Structure 1
Amino acid sequence: MNILIIGGGGVVGQKLGAKLLERGTLDGKAISKLVLADIVDPAPMDGAETTTCDIADPASVAACITPETDVIFLLAAIVSAHAEQDFDLGYKINLMGTWNVLERARALGTVPKVVFTSSIAVYGGEAKDPLGDWSQMNSQGSYGVQKAMGELLVNDFSRKGFVDGRGFRLPTISVRPGKPNRAASSFMSSILREPLNGQEAICPVGKDYLHYYLSPRKCVENLIKGAEIAKADLGHNVCMQMPGKMWSIGQLVDAMEKVAGPEPLKLIRWESQPEIEAIVKGWRYDIHADKALALGLTADDSFEDNVRYYLEDDKPQA
């Protein structure tokens, strides 16, 4: 089996690549080739090839997706705050990039499997709680609108038999390793990651702010399970909510204290940032993932697990 991860240089892409290599199989078939592709050459990984791919450029996409490509994980995107600030670039990457990948897959005529990552940012506006697979997508930000459009494309290309598609609306992934990015949700990892590493972090919202979370470890497990779901079991809508859990910022901090003690809490500064609050307070959190749960995908049992996974998998060693 030949697998391509577009967005293979990112946190989830790197972890997904490593897990697939560890398994050696996908859907019961041996992985013969794994390619990590991104806008810049991803970090090298033993057992995988790396290449550059600009999904906004059809020629670049065509060079990456070959007739031998069996499975495409489409993870690449520009994130929420960036897409909000740069309207044109958001649509160029998040909408037209998705179109370019699907159109290349269609042109091959081989019906590759496409696993698309959407986002809980598709929810918003006047849709009624609780939200889930059949809720109206009514994002109040450009990033969510672009992801909603991507879901519709994946559904239509799948309906026409051009690809074997499936899409998953990711919860906010926390605790993410690395450095803060331009996502409005970036602080939802940094207020834990930085203090766990002995560094100060700023929280721009109050402790009562509620959100919907999943750990990187569970996200990767779910993407692999999602790729292995039989096409017949997906139904007419091949895109669905990935399971997560709702917690407040205060509960996240309490979980960190339970796992790592009281010292990291002293490194959090609570400072309101209206430009971030304006985005994240438009997001929704009362979200249910009934379809994915029935298909075998899972959420973390507690946020203490999320903290432990970061310490086990990602915390830099002194």
Structure 2
Amino acid sequence: MNILIIGAAGMLGRKLVHALIAKGTVVDRPIRRLVLADITAPERPDFDGEIETIAADLSLPGTAEHLIASRPDLICHLAAIVSGEAEADFEKGYRVNLDGTRALFEAIRIAGQTDAYCPKVVFTSSIVVFGEPLPDVIGDDHCLTPLTSYGTQKAIGELLLADYSRRGFLDGIGIRLPTISIRPGKPNKAASGFFSSILREPLIGEEAVLPVSDTVRHWFASPRAAVDFIVHACELNTEQLGSRRTLTMPGLSATVGDQIEALRRVAGDDAAKLIRREANKTVADIISGWPQSFDAKRAEALGFKAEISFDDIIRVHIEDELGNTLSAWERA
């Protein structure tokens, strides 16, 4: 199995690489070769097989052709600029999130004209492809009505994935990721970044800023669950999808207040007191057009699973990122 991961230097990309290496196979086929690409060259992990790390901008001419030159059997396309940056820089958002995706799909199509190349492609989309009017709970049949440039770019990517799959150019599956919380590391430019920072920073004794009200509700999953989604998508038989190639992933619907109360239960009042409320209208306006809850029946029926409480999400972060120091908080 020859695998290409685009966006391999990002948080989910790094975790996906390690998960695949630990697993060793995809659909019972040993992983022999990994090509890891991102705008900056990803770090080289420990891997017994052949590995290549590449600094590459997918939106530049010739890059996609170079990345598929070895004819990877499986391509995980995770690369994107995040919601806040895509909204602030219109041209960059469309160049990276749309032009890069189209370039990849076109390179695969053209390659297939000469050697019957048709790889499996896992495309990470987002729940922000949905916008107003929004029901309280969004089902699998709800239409795409994005209210941000990022959501629009992802929605177009989903349509391209479905059409290129229909035409037999590639074998695509799209997964709409919930907002990932708690994201490890430093804050990024995503409008949703505070959903992680109000938990991540207090857990290490640092102050965090909350730019919206406690009543804001959203759809969440942990990084661990997100990686599991991608790995499961890599192995899923896409014949089960029919023409509807993108699935909304399971998750947890919770308010900011629910997050804070979970933090209080797991880490105590001192941690919760480190959250400072400072309204930000720009962020609040972006978030106001995002969905709050889903009924992800299709994905659940196909074996995708997520956490069922924010206590679980916080515990996952403590286990995976903080050296399993939960007991220290419980003794505090």
Under TM normalisation by the shorter chain, which class is it?
A: over 0.9
SS in structure 2 at match of 1:269: strand
- Please list every run of 5 or more consecutive structure 2 residues that lacks an aligned counterpart in the other structure: 326-332
Shift of 1:211: 0.4
The 5 Å alignment of 1:182-193 reads 182-193=189-200
Deviations 1:122-167 (A, max 9, x none): 0012254431332111011110011000000000000000001000
Contact 1:222 1:298 in 2 (8 A): yes
Counterpart of 1:264? Answer: 271
Shift of 1:315: 2.4
Deviations 1:85-144 (A, max 9, x none): 111111111111110111111122110010000001100122544313321110111100
Shift of 1:62: 1.5
Letter in 2 for 1:35: V
Deviations 1:59-82 (A, max 9, x none): 122211224301110000011111
Does 1:117 find its partner at 2:117? no
Counterpart of 2:92? Answer: 89
Deviations 1:225-259 (A, max 9, x none): 11111121111111110111100111111112222
The 5 Å alignment of 1:14-53 reads 14-47=14-47, 48-53=51-56
Letter in 1 for 2:287: V
Counterpart of 1:66? Answer: 69
SS in structure 2 at match of 1:58: coil
Does 1:216 find its partner at 2:223? yes
**In 1, Cα distance between the equivalents of 2:134 and 2:269?**
39
The 5 Å alignment of 1:1-318 reads 1-47=1-47, 48-109=51-112, 110-315=117-322
Counterpart of 2:330? Answer: none
**In 2, Cα distance between the equivalents of 1:46 and 1:129?**
45
Contact 1:127 1:137 in 2 (8 A): no
**In 1, Cα distance between the equivalents of 2:7 and 2:175?**
15
After superposition, the CA RMSD in angstroms is: 1.4
Identify which range, 297-306 or 213-222, moves more after superposition: 297-306
Shift of 1:44: 2.6
Letter in 2 for 1:102: F
**In 2, Cα distance between the equivalents of 1:311 and 1:128?**
34
Contact 2:134 2:291 in 1 (8 A): no
Distance change in 2, residues 1:52/1:316 (3 Å): farther
Distance change in 2, residues 1:296/1:266 (3 Å): same
Contact 2:221 2:313 in 1 (8 A): yes
Contact 1:127 1:138 in 2 (8 A): no
**In 2, Cα distance between the equivalents of 1:146 and 1:129?**
24
State percent identity of aligned pairs: 46
Letter in 1 for 2:59: A
SS in structure 1 at match of 2:173: strand
How many residues align structurally? 318
Identify which range, 260-269 or 77-86, moves more after superposition: 260-269
**In 1, Cα distance between the equivalents of 2:303 and 2:155?**
24
SS in structure 1 at match of 2:244: coil
Identify which range, 47-56 or 113-122, moves more after superposition: 47-56
Give the structure-2-normalised TM-score. 0.93
Letter in 1 for 2:259: L
Shift of 1:260: 1.8
**In 2, Cα distance between the equivalents of 1:13 and 1:163?**
21
Contact 2:84 2:190 in 1 (8 A): yes
**In 2, Cα distance between the equivalents of 1:224 and 1:14?**
13
- Please list every run of 5 or more consecutive structure 1 residues that lacks an aligned counterpart in the other structure: none
SS in structure 2 at match of 1:250: helix
Distance change in 2, residues 1:312/1:233 (3 Å): same
